[in-house]
Structure 1
Amino acid sequence: MQASWSRRRQLVLVLGSLSAFGALTIDLYLPAMPRMATHLDASTASVQATLTVFVVGLAVGQVLVGPLSDAWGRRRPLLIGLALYAVASLACALAPDVGWLIAARVLQSLGAAAGTVLARAIARDLFSGVAMTRFLSTLMLVNGLAPILAPVVGGQLLAVTTWRALFVLLAGIGVLLLSAVALTLPETVPPERRQSAHPRALARTFARLAADRRFVRLILAAGLMFAAVFTYISGSSFVLQDGYGLSPQQFSLVFAVNGLGIVACSQLNGWLVGRVGTEAGLLTIALATAVLGSAGVLGCALAGAPLPLLLVFLFLVVAMLGPVLTNATSMALAEHGTTAGAASSLQGMTQFLIAGVAAAALGATGDDAVAMGAVMCCCAVPALLLALVRPSVRRH
């Protein structure tokens, strides 16, 4: 029993860290974005583009890595991706201009995609049903630390060094995780369970996934919810620092409180599922709360409400990310165990592509609180509507 518990903690730590790659790589440098624009002599839109290309790269990278992991196993693509991530992070630190930084962020995103997609696939290899939902909720203890600690660390580092040190830190984290995976994480896809890597076989796999209306509905709901939170991630540094006058350190503390909401609600979700409610019911409640929060953000912005009230509604939106992603992912992957890599990659691609569109929409409409609230509402409302759809009972 002790060995089993020790192994589970090890899995939570490694897989949670891998699943946090995207959030960590985004959140760490958020407090530095206004300063980066000044130092690189770049526009706000150009610096925000480093965020957008990273998200798009995560989407594309997951589509490449996920299906290959069904054919080759999880370890080899994961180790290659982590090595690429570490090298690209150093390239970001050395960027002489914003064009170089954007290019390096693309490579960094492709490496980070391996950790993001394969953490979900490995979890599906090892767990199913309610056990998977609870395990994913537990992963949020580690995954949720990224939005809590990353901006705090980033903000504090900016007080003593430059933004380049943030990317050096990311390179070090990449090397550390590369070592951890190489030494502790076994292969979870035995040869007899591996799928063909032939393009036609991959096309058939994706066609089957696209034809599963329940799967598509769930990944779209998760993607739209992620996009609502990503809108906050993309725009909050400018809204809260430039618009409301917060310092980088104050902004990082606000970000940390919202991250604590993700962790707390994820753990509550893990306890409630199977005891008080189903994944579907808890998903609907979380999305309804997110809609309420998004509408509150927009209303506060239009009415010029005080900052504390705006922050309360932002908290409601961000905190719901954990329960939504946990329940939607568990239900979406439930019937696709043999192609978990491809299914996870399609979910990841959808999630980050929608988020990229949301970030681009925010950049095009402005970086104020009204634009942020409007884009968040446009994401949260259809996500709830998708969750409310109840498909007809399947006959076997």
Structure 2
Amino acid sequence: MTSSSSSPTAQGTPGPAFAQGVPGWLSLLLGFLTAVGPISTDIYLPAFPAMEQSFHTSAGNVQFTLAIWFVGLAIGQLSVGPLADRYGRRMPLLVGNVLYAVASAVCAFAPDITLFSAARFVASIGASASLVVPTACVRDVVSDRAAGARMMSRLIMVMGVVPILAPMLGGLVVEFVSWRIIFWASAVYGLVCVGLVLWVLPETLPYQKRQSLSPMTLLTRYVGLLGDRGYSIYALITAFSTFMTFSYLTAAPFVFVQLFHFSPLHFSMLFGVMSVFMIGASQVNGLLVGRVDPARLLHGAVALSVLGTVLMVGVSVWGCWYAPVAYRPYEVWLVIGTMVIALAPTGIIFPNAMMMALADHPAQAGAASALAGTLQYVLGALAGVLVGQFAATSSLPMAGCMGFGALMMLCMHTFRPALHDVA
């Protein structure tokens, strides 16, 4: 379906955003913008126990704010994707980051969990633009599947640096000052992103490629994407990867701080180490794409995640019911080791599955990215709610939920279209 471009064309249709080739700094910029989502998820994880005390509420209610965040990201992406296909990439980013900055400031002075949750939901609606639009920008400027996967790997590396630092900074904040400073810092981050979009990021979607916008058009577009087997399979692989990752994100603060007695600072350092492994895997992926079939890379990474979660479940079951008392001090290290095996491959899974989902939909990159992102955060929210139903008395709920996500990825990959294996 083509856009109605008569008015923009009358003003002069711009040429490609990067006629001389895509500059290296674009990955840095897009990664920094995309990191709004991960940093906002990660930076306040070490503050969960402190927020529980500050708001005089339960651990489940604090965990529920993470589920609310995921729900807002899911809803926001469904709206932002089509808007980005109609009005271009820059405007949704500008509006979204302003909304995110203002709502984060409200979170900083919220007196109770109710206002905090409401502001967190609004912030997630704004942050959804930074999750959808940068991925669509990659599809705008790079059409080759292997080149796109390489660029996505670089983007993941950049967007991963900030989340590595985020929980460490969050842990320091909780250790020495109020957790509320975290959300003032988030507001500043949103304003910095506004400045970068205004003065650095060019428009990557030409007027003649913009799509029409109406309720029926949107419904038809999303139904058409879901009806594409290749798109649906690979989008669901990214979604169940998110389910696995967010099971870890939701449960880990309570498992490691309350069960294994980590300080907030030590937990944030552990979180940084896990992020380093995931980013390292994404860079290995960038080196291998073009030399190894992306479908084989994806298959190997999914299989490794399944192995890691199976081992983690085994460690957790043994620690819960069968391990002698002398084993207890070693349980935490076995949990961490199996967690690395399970989570590191997501650095390979996400860029390959995402680019394979978008490959056949260049004219609808915004909507396709938005729908995939919505699936990711719907399942992420489900993971948060599910994990929150269990008391943090063992690592088994976290391991079990992560294992379910890994097994579902394997099931999805088993039913992938044969065409993509040889693409």
Partner of 2:413 in structure 1? 387
Which residues of structure 1 form unaligned runs of 5+?
A: none
- In 2, the alpha carbon distance for the partners of 1:145 and 1:211 equals 36
Helix, strand or coil at the partner of 2:284: helix
Say how many residue pairs are matched.
391
Amino acid at match of 1:13: L
Alignment match of 2:296 (pick from 270, 278, 281): 281
Q: State how 1:165-176 maps to structure 2 within 5 Å.
A: 165-176=181-192
2:374 corresponds to 1:349 = yes
1:54 equivalent in structure 2: 69
- Is this contact kept in 2: 1:229–1:317, CA < 8 A? no
Residue 250 of structure 1 pairs with residue 276 of structure 2? no
CA-CA distance at 1:384 after TM superposition:
1.1
Q: 1:40 to 1:393 in 2, by over 3 A?
A: closer
Closer, same or farther in 2 for the Cα pair 1:392/1:16, shift >3 Å? closer
Partner SS for 1:246: coil
Q: Is the 2:244–2:405 Cα contact (8 Å) retained in structure 1?
A: yes
1:162 paired to 2:178 = yes
Does the Cα contact within 8 Å between 2:77 and 2:370 map onto a contact in 1? yes
TM-aligned CA deviation for residue 6 of structure 1:
11
CA–CA separation in structure 2 for the residues paired with 1:302 and 1:392: 38
Task: Label 1:5 to 1:306 Cα distance change in 2 as closer, same or farther (>3 A).
Answer: farther
Contact 1:266 1:322 (C-alpha < 8 Å) held by counterparts: yes
Alpha-carbon separation, structure 1, partners of 2:165 and 2:106: 23
Percent identity, aligned pairs only? 38
Q: Which whole-Å deviations, capped at 9, do the CAs of 1:300-345 have from their partners, x for residues lacking one?
A: 1111162111101111222122111100011000011100000000
Q: Residue in 2 aligned with 1:133?
A: 149
Equivalent residue for 2:324?
Answer: none
Q: Give how far 1:229 is off.
A: 0.9
* Structure-1 residue corresponding to 2:10: none
Matches of 2:34 and 2:191, distance apart in 1 = 16
Distance in 2 between residues matched to 1:347 and 1:59, nearest whole Å: 9
Letter of the structure 2 residue corresponding to residue 280 of structure 1: A
5+ unaligned residues in a row in structure 2: which ranges? 1-17, 320-329
- The equivalent of 1:182 in structure 2 is 198
- Work out whether residues 92 and 101 of structure 1, in 8 Å CA contact, stay in contact via their aligned partners in 2: yes
Aligned residue type for 1:259: S
- 1:390 CA displacement: 4.1
Q: Is the 8 A contact 2:281 2:344 kept in 1?
A: yes
Bigger-Rg structure (1/2): 2
CA-to-aligned-CA distance 1:145-173 (integer Å, 9 cap, x gap): 13311111111122221000000000011
Secondary structure at 2:171 match in 1: helix
Q: CA deviation at 1:218?
A: 0.6
**How well do the aligned residues superpose, as a CA RMSD in angstroms?**
1.6
Match of 1:337 in 2: 362
1:202, distance to aligned residue in structure 2 (A): 1.4
Match of 1:223 among 230, 239, 244: 239
Residue of structure 2 in register with 1:63 after alignment: 78
Q: Deviations over 1:76-103 (max 9, x none)?
A: 1110001000000100001000001000
Q: 1:393: how far off?
A: 4.6
Displacement of 1:235 in angstroms is: 0.5
1:32 equivalent in alignment to 2:47: yes
When residues 300 and 339 of structure 1 are mapped into structure 2, their CA distance, relative to the original with a 3 A threshold, is same
Select which of 383, 403, 422 maps to 1:377.
403
Of residues 305, 309, 315 in structure 2, which corresponds to 1:294? 309
Other-structure match for 1:308:
333
Instruction: Say whether residues 1:212 and 2:228 are aligned partners.
Output: yes
SS at match of 1:8: coil
301-310 vs 86-95, which deviates more? Answer: 301-310
CA distance in 2, matches of 1:33, 1:54: 14
Letter in structure 1 aligned against 2:261: G
What TM-score, normalized by structure 1, do the two folds share? 0.96
Which amino acid is the alignment partner of residue 8 of structure 1?
P
Higher mean C-alpha deviation, range 243-252 or range 357-366: 357-366
Q: C-alpha separation between the residues in 2 aligned to 1:329 and 1:164?
A: 35
Match status 1:358 vs 2:358: no
Give 1:389 deviation, angstroms.
2.1
Which residue in the other structure is 1:88 paired with?
103
Any conservation in 1 of the 2:50–2:174 contact (CA below 8 Å)? no
Q: 1:390 and 1:374 mapped to 2: Cα distance?
A: 25
Asked if residue 100 in structure 1 is aligned to residue 115 in structure 2, the reply is: yes
Alpha-carbon spacing, 1:189–1:157, altered in 2? closer, same or farther (3 Å): same
Query: What is the SS of the residue equivalent to 2:132?
Result: helix
**CA 1:95–1:331: 2 relative to 1, 3 Å:** same
Moved more, 59-68 or 310-319: 310-319
The residue aligned with 2:133 is 118
Partners of 1:57 and 1:109 within 8 A in 2: yes
Partners in 2 of 1:364 and 1:219 — Cα distance?
Answer: 27
1:14–1:181 CA contact under 8 A, matched in 2: no
